[in-house]
Amino acid sequence: MRAISYDTYAPDGSLDGLHLSDLPEPKVAPGTALVAVRSTSVNPVDWKLVSGALDPVFDTVFPVVPGWDVAGVVVRTGMDTPEWQAGDEVVSYARKDLLHGGTFGELVAVPATSLARKPHGLSWDEAGSLPLAGLTALRSLDLTEVGPDDVVLLHGASGGVGHLAVQIAVARGARVLATASERNHDFLRGLGAEPVTYGDGLEDRVRALAPGGVTVAVDYVGGVLEQSLAVLADGGRLASIVDGGVTEHGGHHVWVRPDGAGLERLGALVDEGALRVEVQETFPLERAVDAMRLSAGGHVRGKVAVRVSEG
């Protein structure tokens, strides 16, 4: 099968070692399904892994095919996988405990429990951009127990995770203050948030909108812990996907888990018209490295998709 892969870590962070290759078809173990990939997407963790930054956390078998998001069609199933059949259209956050066979290829084997039905309201590129970011947003808001009585501050709200978190929080009835550059303010207003320009003076801008403070602050960008603490009301809740320092203040450091049931919850929001996925640009598999470079450069609105197959 065709796949993007790399044969060794690049400690300098270079992506030059990524290349289009011809690799064996993945084996299909009991309790897994082989999925023909239609689309995947880039997450910051994908290009960070190439440097070996998370080698203390993950065992690695080279060559590594990057990518943890997938939208595609089940080709066949392993033994004892009755819940899925060939031809099913599915999505998954397909992270495994071993770095090896990711989703930047034509086929990927996925544990049955990590799969969910592809939402009908999403294109392949949108569906392939939903899993990791959507589940991260969902978990961060679940852990902070966001509900209709909350005033929520979301840092990095126009990015992949952030723009989905805005919509989930709004769907729960929360008031959402969302930080972003001014060029993304109209985008965030369209999602139901009150945009706030990030950077110096953020605390004053938030206090002007919420004099009593925010009840929840969630960080999707890093470097904002002090600002969050400065505007957090007494008894407020914290979470971050970047800064483990939140745990010293009773907050949650979020690393999302594969979760088929969680993806079904996100799919229900899509079907209700409460959640959409913003895809800034789509690249073919052959240009996956360009997609990763765009992501690594920052300032992406929503997600960057990689189209693997037209089906």
Element (H, E) at 152: strand 151-155
Q: Which amino acid is at 231?
A: V
Please tell me whether residue 90 adopts helix, strand or coil conformation.
strand
3-state secondary structure 176-237: EEEEECHHHHHHHHHCCCEEEECCCCHHHHHHHHCCCCEEEEEECCCCCHHHHHHHEEEEEE
The closest of 102, 129, 108, 104 to 118, measured between CA atoms, is: 129
223 phi and psi angles, rounded to 5 deg = 75, 20
Q: Give dist(CA 31, CA 43) in Å, integer.
A: 26
Beta strands in 66-114 (DSSP E): 69-77, 89-93, 98-101, 107-111
Specify the pLDDT at position 159: 97
Please tell me whether residue 292 adopts helix, strand or coil conformation.
helix
pLDDT tens profile 144-174:
999 999 999 999 999 999 999 999 999 999 9
Q: Give dist(CA 38, CA 107) in Å, integer.
A: 9
18 has a pLDDT exceeding 90: yes
pLDDT tens profile 110-150:
999 999 999 999 999 999 999 999 999 999 999 999 999 99
Neighbours of 175 (CB within 10 A): 19
Domains recognised in the chain with CATH numbers: 2-130+277-307 (3.90.180.10), 133-253 (3.40.50.720)
- Cα end-to-end distance, the chain, whole Å: 15
pLDDT tens profile 238-264:
999 999 999 999 999 999 999 999 999
Q: Output the six-digit token pair for 145.
A: 């127990």
* Eight-class DSSP state of 300: -
Between the CA of residue 234 and those of 205, 237, 245, what are the distances in Å? Answer: 19, 9, 18
Q: What is the mean pLDDT of residues 51-73?
A: 96
311 has a pLDDT exceeding 80: no
pLDDT tens profile 263-279:
999 999 999 999 999 99
- pLDDT > 70 in the chain, percent: 100
Lowest mean pLDDT among 52-61, 76-85, 166-175, 229-238: 52-61
Specify the pLDDT at position 74: 98
Q: Give dist(CA 219, CA 240) in Å, integer.
A: 4
Beta strands 69-77; 89-93: pairing state: antiparallel
Handedness of CA 238, 178, 181, 205 (dihedral sign): negative
283 has a pLDDT exceeding 80: yes
To 10 degrees, the CA torsion angle through 6, 285, 21, 3?
A: 80
What's the mean pLDDT when you consider all of the chain?
A: 97
Place of tokens 């989703």: 103
Q: Give dist(CA 299, CA 159) in Å, integer.
A: 8
The closest of 55, 57, 42 to 10, measured between CA atoms, is: 55
The closest of 70, 82, 153, 150 to 116, measured between CA atoms, is: 70
Specify the pLDDT at position 310: 87
Q: Give dist(CA 126, CA 182) in Å, integer.
A: 25
Q: Give dist(CA 72, CA 311) in Å, integer.
A: 9
pTM for this prediction: 0.97
Specify the pLDDT at position 25: 97
Q: What DSSP string runs through 252-275?
A: EE------HHHHHHHHHHHHTTS-
Specify the pLDDT at position 44: 94
Specify the pLDDT at position 298: 87
Q: Give dist(CA 277, CA 275) in Å, integer.
A: 7
